[in-house]
Amino acid sequence: MRFSEHWKSDLDFDFYVQTLNNESFIERRWLKDIVDKQLKDANGILLTANMGYGKSSIISNIVCADRSSVWYELSKQILAYHFCRYDMDMSVSAGTFIRNLASAIVKLYPEMGNAILADDVASDFLYGTRFYKDPISCFEMSILNPLKYHWTTQKFIILIDALDECDTPDSFNLNDVKQYVRKTSQLTEPQISTLTKAANGNFLHVKLYLQYCKKTDTFDFRNVPNSLAQLYQLNFKRILKDSENLFFDFLPVFVVLCTIQNPIDKDQLIEVSQLDGNSKRRKLESLLEMN
C-alpha cells in the first residue's frame, strides 16, 4: 500500500441500513429469483415501485444478509452500497458516491485500492474538490482508469437506493427528466424547462409536483417549490386545508409517521396512533383517501 492511512468515506450508512433491516419483517423471497435471472442477462437492474413499497428495506435485507438469508450469495458480491436521502444533502451528491465507492474498494480489496491510491491523477480528484464539479470525469479518472485491468477476474455489485432522489443537474440527466415529463404530461416546452430547472434534475421532485398539480387542478410553474420539503408542505396544507384543529387532532398520527422506517397500512396507523372516537377515525380515513 502506497499510503499508510486508511482512505476515509464521507458518509457511513452502516447504522442506517442495520436499523432498516432490524425493522423489516418480510424478506421478499420471491424477488430473489427475478433478480438472479435479470443479472444473468444484464449488467444491472433498476427496481421501481411507488413510495412506501419497501424498496429500502429490500436493499437492507441484501446488505445485511446472513447465511440463513436467501440473499446471502448475492450479498457476498457487494462492493459498496449507497443511500440517496433527500434529508441529507451530501448523500444525494454524485461526488460523495464516488468517494464512498473508492473508500469501499480501498477497504475491502487492498490490491485494487492500491491501484487507485498510487495513481496521481486519481488522488488529485479524490482529495480535491473537482469530484463535486465534474463527477463523470472523476469517476472515469479515479476509478475506471486505475482499475481497468482489475475487473476481469471477479464480478461486483454496487447497490444504490432511492436513485430518483439523487441531485444530478448535469445535461444528460436534465434531458432524461424532460423526456419523462413529455411522456407523462401535456406541458409546453417552456413549462418543462422551468419545472426541470426548479427541481434541479431531481426525478422525484418533478414527479411529485406533477401529482400535486393534478390533484389541485392548478399548474403554476412560476412558483415551483425549490425543495422536496416545500413540496411536502404544500401537500400538507392541501390535505388539512389550513385547519389548525385538524393538525392537533391528528398530531399522534404525524408522530407515528415521522418515527416509522417501514410501510404501514391505514388500519395499523390508526391502531398505533390510538385515535379516540369514531369521528376522528372517519375523518382520518377521508384525509388519507385525499392523499
Question: Is residue 219 domain-shared with residue 108, that is, in the same domain?
Answer: no
Give the pTM: 0.59
- Please check whether residues 127 and 18 belong to one and the same domain: yes
d(Cα 113, Cα 132) in Å, to the nearest integer? 21
Q: Is 264 exposed, middle or buried (0-12, 13-18, 19+ CB in 10 A)?
A: middle
Task: Note whether 180 and 257 are same-domain residues.
Answer: no
State the pLDDT at residue 71: 92
Mark whether 173 and 160 lie in a shared domain. no
Question: Are 218 and 258 in a shared domain?
Answer: no
Q: Give the residue from 144, 136, 132 showing the smallest Cα distance to 95.
A: 132
Do both 18 and 157 map to the same domain?
yes
Number of domains the chain is built from: 3
Q: CA 286, CA 158: separation in Å to the nearest integer? A: 42
The owner of cell 472515469 is 140
What's the pLDDT at 140? 92
Same domain, 202 and 290: no
Q: pLDDT tens per residue, the chain (291 residues)? A: 444 344 556 677 877 788 878 877 667 788 888 999 988 888 888 887 766 667 888 888 999 999 999 999 999 999 888 888 766 777 878 888 888 888 888 888 888 888 888 888 888 888 777 777 788 888 999 899 988 887 667 788 899 888 766 656 567 677 888 888 888 888 889 888 888 888 877 778 888 888 888 888 877 777 888 787 788 878 777 777 756 677 777 778 878 877 775 667 777 887 887 877 677 777 777 766 655
